Amino acid sequence: LLQLFPATIHRRAPLPSTVPWRAPAREIRDSPRFSWRGAMLDVVRHFAPPRDIRRFIDLLAMHRLNTLHLHLTDDQGWRIEIARYPKLTEVGSWRPESQVGAAPESDGDGRPHGGFYTKDDLREIVAYASARGITVVPEIELPGHAQAAVAAYPELGVGDAAPETPWTRWGINPVIFNVEESTIAFLADVLDEVIDIFPSEYICIGGDECPKVQWRDDPRTQERMRELGVEEEEELQSWFIGRIAAHLASRGRKLLGWDEILEGGLVDDASVLSWRGQIGALVAARAGHDVIACPVDSVYLDYRESDMPGEPIPVGTVTTVETAYGFDPVPPELNATEARHVRGGQANLWTEHIDSSRAIDYHVFPRLCAVSEALWTRGDRDFREFEPRLVEHLARLDAAGVEYRHPDGPRPWQSRPGVVGRPSSMEDAVAHLERITANIG
């Protein structure tokens, strides 16, 4: 209904009386293709205050998305209050600095970074989202991406050399939870408190990017494997996730994990976030497991949007609006019965290089507009038909205060420092100056 009114209806202040609110008469018969239409927001690498999350929820609702996947724990921080284990936030929610840039040899910025959500913060976020038709799905990472938790409680780690702080770098970290019964019980306690906050059907447990080096090199872990009758470290991860899945099931919840949980054998009733292309979706759906598609090559919104030198974060493959619009969660190799296991899809935003709501706006929009239509629409889609409608929709984003990426590239204040796009001729220079002046105005 709001899309039928003038774009100014999306402003928060009352409209002048001279602006008519008129909607043309229409009869609309419509329903979404998929039941899971979502976006994942990483609040670990850079913390987002509750007000920013509520604003993000408003923008999801504006685009008829119905799931917010909230990435709450990782190596670089622990963002959720757990009453039984207060050190998770006392120690785990702050790191001494953050890596600057994507290169492994990049320096740190020398500035502490952190924050966490109280239970009341998260209950408010859940209620705010629910009022807008959105389910919040929490993610607690295990057995890898564990450094923030191990820094807080060293007895959760492998061996005696526990880190003292959350990790200050980006990438894949070898720190992993150990496989003692006490650690399984600790994580079950954590998940019990998570479940009490989030009423979602699914609880995401991560399971991705989990090096097994510490397990392989640790005598106690190898002894534990023999006790359990497990021969390979991949099987040990499956055992670990199986224990967590059984606990979630005992609380009436379902386990969701990234597609690495397929390695070593997928536990019963687990659902898969297929991110490494479509292979995870194929394997899981054919085995009768539900799938949420989020392939890295089309819906990772932290990836750069062009090869232009001014793109603020030149990481990942180029993922354009047209790329996002072409997203189809269902691999064509699946038959009709198998395809029913694909519940939908989501776009993912990792925030190693995204530290503000302005930066989130730039990377998410308008690509999320394309993803939302891809997840809603039945039948064929044509980007040439979509593009002019998107241009019209940008006026709504303007009214809502969204600092999206413009079709002609980043604005000077959005570009990488020192790179604003040098004009190639006097005419180009004049046009460039006019654009800057208009945007400042």
Helix (H) or strand (E) holding 137: strand 135-142
Let me know the angle formed at the C-alpha of 30 by 27 and 36, rounded to the nearest 5 degrees: 155
Of 189, 209, 263, 269, the active-site residue reads: 209
> Distance between CA 38 and CA 70 in Å, rounded?
11
From the CB of residue 98, how many other CB atoms can be counted at a distance below 10 Å? 24
User: How many C-beta neighbours within 10 Å does residue 244 have?
Assistant: 23
Residue type, 359: A
Beta strands in 200-330 (DSSP E): 202-206, 254-258, 271-274, 291-293
- Specify whether 263 is catalytic: no
Cβ contacts of residue 373 below 8 Å, gap of 6+? 325, 381, 386
Q: Of all residues in the chain, what percent are helix, strand and coil, respectively (each to 5)?
A: 40, 15, 50
What are the tokens at 117? 């959500």
What backbone phi and psi angles, to 5 degrees, belong to 321? -60, -40
138/143 Cα distance (integer angstroms) = 16
Q: Which of 42, 74, 338, 361 is catalytic?
A: 74
Closest by CA to 74, choosing from 197, 166, 161, is 166
Cα 42 from Cα 245, distance rounded (Å): 23
Token pair for 336? 């009709």
Supply φ then ψ for residue 250, to 5 degrees. Answer: -65, -20
- The three-class DSSP label of residue 183 is helix
Burial group, residue 101, by CB count within 10 angstroms (0-12, 13-18, 19+) = middle
3 contacts 396 by C-beta, under 8 angstroms? yes
For residue 366, give the amino acid letter. P
363 is catalytic: no
User: Is 145 annotated as catalytic?
Assistant: yes
Residue recorded with tokens 């079709």: 407
Write down the catalytic residue from 69, 145, 341, 353.
145
Q: Which of 366, 369, 364, 440 is nearest to 406 (CA)?
A: 366
Euclidean distance between CA atoms 155 and 180, whole angstroms: 10
Q: Which two tokens stand for residue 437?
A: 């002046």
Tell me the two tokens of residue 163. Answer: 């880190």
Tell me the catalytic residues: 74, 145, 209
